Structure 1
Amino acid sequence: MEAGLGIGIGSTTLVAVVDNPDDAATISRRTVRSECVVQLDPSSVFTDFVERVGDPVPLFAADGTPHRGEDLTAVAVTTLMRDALADQDRPSHVVIAHPAWWSRHAVSALEKSLSTRMIHDNTPVDTTLVAEPIAVADWLRTSGHPDSDGLTVVFDLGARSLDVTVVTTTGGSATIVGKSLHSDDIGGDEFDHLVTRHLLTELDHYAQIDTSAPETLDALTALRGHAREAKETLSFETETVVHVDLPGGSHNLRLVRSELEDLLRPAITRSVALVHEVMRSAGVESNDVSHVVLAGGSSSIPLVAELLSSELRVPMIAAPDPQSCAAAGAATRATEIGSTETAVKQTLPKPVPVPAFSTPIVVVSDPEATSAARRSSRVGIVAAVVGACVILAAGGLGIGTAVDKIKPASSSADPSIESSTSATTSNATAPSGTEAVADAVPSTGGAVAITGSLAPGTRSVGVATTAGTVAPAAPAAAEPTAAAQPGSDPTNSQQTVDAGPPFQIPQVPAFEVPQLPVVVAPQLPDQLTLPTAIPRFPVG
Structure 2
Amino acid sequence: MNSLGMSIGATQLVATDGNPDGVPVVRSSLLTLHEDQPSEVGVPKEPGLGLAGFVDRVGDPVGIVGADGSVHSADWVMAEAIRIMIADAAVVANFDSPPALAAAVPAYWGGHSIAALRAAIDKVPALAPGGRPMKLVPDARAALVSMRDRIPDHGVVGVCDFGGTGTSMTLADAADDFATIGQSVRFRDFSGQRIDQELLALVLANLNQDPDRTASLGALTRLRDRCRAAKEHLSTDTTTVIPVALPGLTSDVRLTRGELEERIREPLSALITTIQETLEYNNIAPARVAAVLTVGGGSSIPLVTQQLSERLRCPIIAAPHPQLAVAFGAAIMAGQPDETPSAEATMRSPEATMLRPIATGEETAKSPASAPLDTVESGLAWSESDTSPELQEYEDYQDYSTPTTTARPEVTFSPAPDDYRDTAPMRWFQRPVLWFFAAAVFSAAVFTALFIAWQDRDEAPAPSNRTSTTTTATSTPHP
TM-score with structure 2 setting the length: 0.65
Deviations 1:452-479 (A, max 9, x none): xxxxxxxxxxxxxxxxxxxxxxxxxxxx
Identity within the alignment, %: 33
Q: Which residue of 2 aligns with 1:408?
A: none
Q: Does the 8 Å CA contact 1:92/1:126 hold for their aligned counterparts?
A: no
1:103-252 equivalences in 2 (<5 Å): 103-118=110-125, 125-141=132-148, 144-145=149-150, 147-170=152-175, 173-206=177-210, 209-210=212-213, 213=214, 215-252=215-252
Q: Say if 2:314 is the partner of 1:314.
A: yes
AA partner of residue 193 (structure 1): Q
Q: How far is the alpha carbon of 1:121 from its aligned partner?
A: 9.8
Q: Which residue of 2 aligns with 1:279?
A: 279
1:63-462 equivalences in 2 (<5 Å): 63-86=68-91, 87-89=94-96, 91-118=98-125, 125-141=132-148, 144-145=149-150, 147-170=152-175, 173-206=177-210, 209-210=212-213, 213=214, 215-337=215-337
From the superposition, tell whether residues 43 and 331 of structure 1 become closer, same or farther in structure 2 (CA, over 3 Å): closer
Distance in 1, Cα, partners of 2:222 & 2:23:
30
Distance in 2, Cα, partners of 1:330 & 1:49:
21
AA partner of residue 235 (structure 1): S
TM-score with structure 1 setting the length: 0.58
Deviations 1:233-253 (A, max 9, x none): 111111111101112221111
From the superposition, tell whether residues 146 and 97 of structure 1 become closer, same or farther in structure 2 (CA, over 3 Å): closer
Moved over 6 A (4+): 120-123
Deviations 1:281-329 (A, max 9, x none): 2210111000000011111111111111000110000111111111111
Distance in 1, Cα, partners of 2:305 & 2:57:
31
Q: Say if 2:48 is the partner of 1:48.
A: no
Q: Does the 8 Å CA contact 2:83/2:127 hold for their aligned counterparts?
A: no
Distance in 1, Cα, partners of 2:184 & 2:338:
29
From the superposition, tell whether residues 298 and 270 of structure 1 become closer, same or farther in structure 2 (CA, over 3 Å): same
AA partner of residue 203 (structure 1): L
What secondary structure, in the 3-state scheme, does the structure 2 residue paired with 1:201 have? helix
Q: How far is the alpha carbon of 1:181 from its aligned partner?
A: 0.7
Point out which structure has higher relative CO (alpha carbons under 8 A, 6+ apart). 2
Q: Which residue of 2 aligns with 1:14?
A: 13
Aligned equivalent of 1:60, options 61, 65, 75: 65
Q: How far is the alpha carbon of 1:216 from its aligned partner?
A: 3.1
Distance in 2, Cα, partners of 1:217 & 1:90:
46
From the superposition, tell whether residues 124 and 60 of structure 1 become closer, same or farther in structure 2 (CA, over 3 Å): farther
What secondary structure, in the 3-state scheme, does the structure 2 residue paired with 1:97 have? strand
Q: How far is the alpha carbon of 1:124 from its aligned partner?
A: 5.5
Q: Does the 8 Å CA contact 2:102/2:333 hold for their aligned counterparts?
A: yes
What secondary structure, in the 3-state scheme, does the structure 1 residue paired with 2:240 have? strand
Query: Over alpha carbons, which structure has the higher Rg?
Result: 1
What secondary structure, in the 3-state scheme, does the structure 2 residue paired with 1:72 have? helix
Q: How far is the alpha carbon of 1:268 from its aligned partner?
A: 0.7
Distance in 1, Cα, partners of 2:70 & 2:132:
29
Give RMSD over aligned pairs. Answer: 2.1
Q: How far is the alpha carbon of 1:5 from its aligned partner?
A: 1.1
From the superposition, tell whether residues 290 and 323 of structure 1 become closer, same or farther in structure 2 (CA, over 3 Å): same
What secondary structure, in the 3-state scheme, does the structure 2 residue paired with 1:328 have? helix
Q: Does the 8 Å CA contact 1:93/1:338 hold for their aligned counterparts?
A: no
Q: How far is the alpha carbon of 1:120 from its aligned partner?
A: 9.2
Q: Does the 8 Å CA contact 1:39/1:46 hold for their aligned counterparts?
A: yes
Q: Which residue of 1 aligns with 2:367?
A: none
What secondary structure, in the 3-state scheme, does the structure 2 residue paired with 1:320 have? coil
Which blocks of at least 5 consecutive residues in structure 1 are unaligned? 21-26, 341-540
Distance in 1, Cα, partners of 2:154 & 2:327:
20
AA partner of residue 212 (structure 2): I
Alignment size in residue pairs: 326
Distance in 1, Cα, partners of 2:79 & 2:282:
33
Q: How far is the alpha carbon of 1:122 from its aligned partner?
A: 8.2
From the superposition, tell whether residues 311 and 112 of structure 1 become closer, same or farther in structure 2 (CA, over 3 Å): same
Aligned equivalent of 2:31, options 30, 35, 38: 38
Distance in 1, Cα, partners of 2:296 & 2:275:
16
AA partner of residue 209 (structure 1): D
AA partner of residue 196 (structure 1): L
